[in-house]
Structures are given as structure tokens and as C-alpha cells.
Structure 1
Amino acid sequence: MRIKSLSYIVTALAFLAIWAPSVCAAHKVKQFKNITWAKPKGFALTADIYVPDNGNHNMPTLIVYHGGGWLLNTKEIMSDLAHYIAANANIVVVNSNYRTLASLDNTTTANEIVEDAMGAVLWVKHNIQQYDGDPARVAVTGDSAGGHLAAMVTLAGRQLESDGFSGNTLGFTPSYLPAGKTAEQIAKQDGMAVQAAILSYAGFDLYASAKNGFESAGNPFWKWANATPRGLFGAKINVADNPDYYQAVSPNQYIVEQNTYPLPPQFVLVGSEDTLTTPQSAQNYVDTLKKAGQPVTFKIIEGRTHGFLDSGCPTYSSGCFSELAFPAVTDMIDFLNKELAPAAN
């Protein structure tokens, strides 16, 4: 009877290892929660940092941005993903907050959200060594709205201006700048450059979204955020009269030929059943990158709807992270291990 029981336990553990990899971990993780890295307009931007507790140093770093239609959620919605990657790869993970449109009494603008995402990259590059991270090997990722932000960081990181997002420049001023550095100096030095990006069911065209009613009450995210529908840039800017504002926060507007500027490798993934950010929208973005000669990997995860990388068991994704996130998370780790490997001597 004891042998039979032991056999059953071994079989059960083997099943869990294959079908529920989230219960396994290669090593422990040190966690540093709610690190404040900037305070634009008095709003505390915080990050949780997950460090593999395996004796390694100078590890590559992954920055994570959460989704939520630019109106909902905080970094906690990505905590399962952040912890899993840190526990199963030699990668430091920084799970960062940003202002949403509903922040500061519903006054935050779309460009400010992008500036928060950019500021997180600069903060990481100048502080991550304190957490055993390598500032020369940084990748970004995010899902949905967070995927949009990761794409903006990757593609628009040279569009920086100290004068802010207005007039003819429409340049971004990151929410964090290293002491003694201006936005222009960072841009000239390509100081925003990252080494890889993973874009999960991301938004690539806010111009099209605005034309299709994002700023109206027909977009349920405003109601879910208890915020009054409004323009992405305030009352004085609208998509009909100021299309350049909306195009300036749309990643698909920044794709250039590889011989003009080589973008880092991008891994684009989407669920086959996603009706919010559809496989076709991802395919269009990937096709444009390929046409420009830029490196990109594309994968459609069969049977998945929107939000399958979110923490816990949200009703909108019809399941839990522990069952829905795979095989996507395994593919993400494989991509990062490849693209963030130390340079050969």
C-alpha cells in the first residue's frame, strides 16, 4: 500500500511539473516592494523589484508595464508574471507603475503616461546595479496598454524634448532624468535604448482608437475607472483637429527602415481569441516591421483571450495565470535568454 501511494505521489508531481509549471521555481526570489522612483506632479511612481536569489550578479533586467486600457489597474496585476520570470530565469524583474488617465482627478494625458514608462527605463539604467541588475542589458514588456507603453519605449525613445509635449515638437520628457542630464542629451546619446521588447496583445495605434470612440462613453473603461470620458490630451485637443498628437503616441508611427535605425528584437504575441487587440492588429504591426527589415518574432497563442497574462483568476480571461500563461511565459523566457545573453568576448 505504501509503494502504491508513493507511486501515486510521484505521478501527481510529474503531472504538476508538466501542466502547472507556475508551481515550480528554479530558485527563490528577493522582493523589494513599492520603491518610489519619481513623483511627477506629486504622484508617487513606484516599482516592485524581483531579484533571483541564486548568487548571481550583473543579471539582465526586464521592466514590466501593466495593462488596463490606460485607465485601470496597478502593477499588482502583473505580479504573478514578474515573480514567475524572476523565479525561473536569471533575470531581475522591475514591475513598474505609471499614471493612468484617471490619475490626478482624471487630468493625466496620454503623453504623460508614455513619459512615465520612459522614466522607468532611465531609472532602471541608473539604479539597477543596486539590485544585481546589468544596466547594459535591459528589456521591456507589457500587456495590452502596457504593451503599448513597451512599444513606445522601444520605438520612440529618441523623441525627447525638455520643453514638453506641445507645439510643433511633440517630444517626450521622461518622468525621471539622471542628475545633470537633459532630455536632449539622453536622446543624443540614445540613452533610452533597450536590448529587447516583448509586446503582449498590445495597442499599436491610439490615433485609430480615438477615431473609433476611445474618448467617448462608448468605451467602458471610463465607467470601470469611475472617470468621465474626455480627450486623451485634455479639452483643447481632439483627434479631428490635432491628429499629430494622437499619432505621436502611436507606436506604428515610429517604425523606420533598419538601415536608418536598427530597432532591438521584438517578440509580439496575442491570443487567437482576442477580440480587443486582435491577432490581425498584431499581424499588421509585425508585417510593417518585417517590411522595414526590423527583427521580430510573432506568435499567436491558441485558445487565449485578452488578459491571459494577468495575475490571479480574472473573470475576463476565463481562467487563472497558472493555467493560461503557458506556453507564452516559457516562450518569453526563451526569447529573453537569447536576446539578453552576455556579449561574447
Structure 2
Amino acid sequence: MTFTVDPQVAAILAPMAEAMAAAPHPAVGDVATRRVALEAMMAETAALQPTPADVTATDFHAVAGDGAKVLLRWYAKDGAAPGSAALYLHGGGMILGSVALYDAPIARYVSASGVPMLAVDYRLAPEHPDPTPVEDVYTGLKWLHDHAAELGVDPARIAVMGDSAGGGLAAGVTLLARDRGGPAVARQILVFPMLDDRTTTPDPELVPFATWTYEDNVTGWSALLGDRAGGADVSPYAAAARANDLSGLPPTYLEVGQLDIFRDEDLDYARRLGAAGVDVEFHLHPGVPHEFETFAWDTDVARRAVADRLRVLGSL
């Protein structure tokens, strides 16, 4: 099959693809080089859109199970009525990114929806391999529930949301909360989530459009899981596609681009959720790669995707 790139996205993607092709390609397993290059790109793209002036960010800290302090940043729209909230988990392939790099995108969600968000600055692999990242996220979820009253949040209206690796962690912590008997998750909002450590064999039809490559993916999963990556001994809380039982999960919103290397794993997860009796809203965005709205935010497909996310947040 020959895929057609969305024309508006193609106009933006073409020079990016040329620059990426000309740049040195880090070897599989080279986390340090990827952090420098991709975090610089994330900062540059985040700055393309204005940061709302009507959102206030406040830092808190929670103590994880191993005694480490985890940064939690609370974003609230000035004057917004109390009610629902979302736990937000940033992307970065399990190996890079931070709450600071996501300040502007999260603030835009909060400003546009009126729904406050608590972002978790979970620790990254390989310095902190599985289960540390998902346990940090679980610590954040518990903290939000424990402090719901003082934040003006209804604990029955708390969602988890994340993109890419953050989407995978959102799926993982939702499974973890179900299996531990709480805290309750009202909805999971999974934006092109990274769900399956077995997505390692390049699809030649997707390789030309990969903004997150198969080499990046192998690097991320290997950093998180070590020698267990791709094997039989992988926790579903680390790689949610490994879960055998998806019953009893909250209503789910899931989206992915047609040219994203996560497409098939996300399609399968949505199908399996539905088969398990979970209420699922799924969107396959034609002609776009991974993280398309980050660099092609001023396009029709990006506006539609963001509008859908805001609609789901507003329905909490």
C-alpha cells in the first residue's frame, strides 16, 4: 500500500525529514545523544505556540515507594470552577522529556478545557528502569486523590492522560490501579501511546515517515526493560499491550496517526479493549506520523485531534 501524507502536514514534514536525514543517526542504545537532540526539538516546537497567561502552575512533591521525591506540577485555570481533573504524563520514549518541557502544551490544554492537570515528572530509564516510571506515576495518582478536597477536585472525576510514552504509562497505571483496587480512574485518554515492546521490526511503508523511529523504539524499550525487552517476562504495567485481561477498565479515548509506528499496536489495543467490554472511542488520523500535532499544530488534522481531546476532557 502507498500512503499519502496529509498535504498540510507534508509541507511541514518535508524540510524536517531532510534535516533529520542529514543529521547523524545515533546508534541503537545511545540514550545521551537522543536526549540532546530530541529534547532540543521538543523545546523548539513547544515554543511555536503561545503559553496561556490564564493558567497558574504550582509545584508539589510526593514521596515514592522507594523514598525518592517526585515532582508534581499542578496547572489550574484562573477562576475556573472546581470539579474534574486529569493526571498528565509527558512523552519521550521512556528515556527523555520532562514536565518543564511540557509546560506550554499542558497549560494550553488547561486553558482551553478549564480542566486542571497534575503533571508527574516521573524518573526516566535507563537510570531508573521499570518499574520506577509507572510507580512514580502511581504515586502521583494517589497524591491527587489524597489531596482532591483541598484542590477542589471530585475524586470520582479524575482521568489519566498522556502522549507517546506518557500514553503508555497512562495505560499502565490504569491497569495497576485496577489491580490494586484504586485509586479510581474515571477515564484514560491515550494519545498515540507507546504500548508494546515487541514493535521492533521496521515496516518499510512507515519508515520514511517515522518521526520516532524503530531504532528509537528499541532504544527506549531496552532502556526501560533491559534484557527482558521482547521476551516473555514483561509486566503489563510497563507495556500495556502485554495485559491479558483488559476488563474492568474505565472508558477510553485512544488516537494514533496512520503513519505512526505505534499504529498497529494501538489499533489492536483499542480492539481488545472493546472486546473486553470497555467503552472505547478510537481515532485513526489519516496521513500523519507520530506526534504530528506537535510540529504541525496549525493544520486542520491537528486542530481536529486537539478539539477531540478537549471535548473528552470537558466531558469528565
Is the TM value for this pair above 0.5?
yes
Match of 1:144 among 149, 154, 164: 164
Q: Does the 8 Å CA contact 2:190/2:253 hold for their aligned counterparts? A: yes
Q: Secondary structure at the match of 1:293?
A: coil
By how many angstroms is 1:257 displaced?
Answer: 6.4
Other structure's SS at 1:109 match: coil
CA apart distance, 1:210: 7.3
Q: Deviations over 1:200-244 (max 9, x none)?
A: 1112222x24799xxxxx834798x9xxx966445xx5357x622
Q: Secondary structure at the match of 1:245?
A: coil
Assess if the C-alpha contact under 8 Å between 1:231 and 1:238 holds in 2. Answer: no
Say whether residues 1:30 and 2:26 are aligned partners.
no
1:332 to 304, 309, 314: 309
- 1:76 is matched with 100
Q: 1:51·1:132 contact (CA, 8 Å) conserved in 2?
A: no
Are 2:284 and 1:300 equivalent residues in the alignment? Answer: yes
**Which structure has the bigger radius of gyration?**
1
Q: Which residue of 2 aligns with 1:281?
A: 265
Asked if 1:203 corresponds to 2:204, the answer is no
* Distance in 1 (alpha carbons) for counterparts of 2:77 and 2:314: 14
| Secondary structure of the structure 1 residue equivalent to 2:147 | helix
Q: CA deviation at 1:116?
A: 1.0
Amino acid aligned to 1:135 = P
Aligned to 2:62, the other structure's residue is in SS state strand
Counterpart residue type for residue 273 of structure 1:
L
Shift of 1:308: 3.3
Deviation (angstroms), 1:128: 3.3
Report the AA paired with residue 121 of structure 1: L
Q: For residues 302 and 57 of structure 2, what CA distance do their matches in structure 1 show?
A: 22
Aligned equivalents of 1:323, 1:80: Cα separation in 2: 21
The match for 2:135 among 103, 115, 126 is 115
Give the Cα–Cα distance (whole angstroms) in 2 for the partners of residues 248 and 62 of structure 1.
19
Instruction: Tell whether the 8 Å contact from 1:308 to 1:321 is kept in structure 2 after alignment.
Output: no
Task: Please tell me whether the aligned partners of residues 93 and 194 of structure 2 are also in contact (alpha carbons under 8 angstroms).
Answer: no
- Please give the secondary structure, in 1, of the residue aligned with 2:292: coil
Find the residue that maps to 2:131 and give its secondary structure.
helix
Q: 1:191 aligns with which of 172, 179, 182?
A: 182
Match of residue 243 from structure 2? 254
> 2: distance between equivalents of 1:138 and 1:248?
19
196, 212, 228: which is aligned to 1:238?
228
**Does structure 1 residue 290 correspond to structure 2 residue 274?**
yes
- Structure 2 residue ranges without an equivalent (≥5): 1-48, 203-213
What corresponds to 1:125 in structure 2? Answer: 145
State the Cα distance separating 1:135 from its structure 2 match. 2.1
Matches within 5 A, 1:160-175: none
Q: CA deviation at 1:44?
A: 3.3
TM-superposed deviation, 1:68: 0.9
Structure 1 runs not aligned, ≥5 long: 1-21, 160-186, 213-217, 311-316, 341-345
SS in structure 2 of the partner of residue 193 of structure 1: coil
TM-score w.r.t. the length of structure 2 is 0.70
Residue of structure 2 in register with 1:167 after alignment: none
Residues 235 and 242 in structure 2, CA contact (< 8 A), matched pair in contact too: no
> Amino acid of the residue matched to residue 66 of structure 1?
H
Provide closer, same or farther for how the CA distance between residues 243 and 100 of structure 1 changes in structure 2, counting only shifts above 3 A.
same
- What is the CA–CA distance in structure 1 between the aligned matches of 2:188 and 2:237, rounded to whole Å? 20
Match of 2:25 in 1: none
Q: Which amino acid in 1 is paired with 2:268?
A: N
- How has the CA–CA distance of structure 1 residues 210 and 35 changed in structure 2, closer, same or farther, with 3 Å as cutoff? farther
Partner of 2:92: helix, strand, or coil? Answer: coil
Of the two structures, which has the highest relative contact order with CA contacts closer than 8 Å and spacing of 6 or more?
Answer: 2
For the structure 1 residues 90 and 146, does the alpha-carbon distance in structure 2 shift closer, same or farther, using more than 3 Å as the test?
A: same
How far the C-alpha of 1:43 sits from its partner, in A, is 4.4
Aligned to 2:8: none
Taking the aligned partners of 2:98 and 2:51, their CA distance within structure 1 comes to 26
Q: Secondary structure at the match of 1:327?
A: helix
Structure 1 residues 101, 131: closer, same or farther in 2, change over 3 A?
same
SS at match of 1:205: coil
Report deviation, 1:294. Answer: 1.3
Q: Is the 8 A contact 1:210 1:239 kept in 2?
A: no
- Report percent identity of matched pairs: 25
C-alpha root-mean-square deviation of aligned residues, in Å?
Answer: 3.2
Cα deviation, 1:288-327, whole Å, max 9, x if unaligned, reads 11222211001123443212354xxxxxx4x457987422
Contact between 1:201 and 1:268, CA under 8 Å: does it hold in 2? Answer: yes
Which residue number corresponds to residue 172 of structure 1? none
**Aligned residues between the structures:** 257
The CA deviation at 1:248 is: 5.5
Relative distance call for 1:38 and 1:297 in structure 2 (3 A) is same
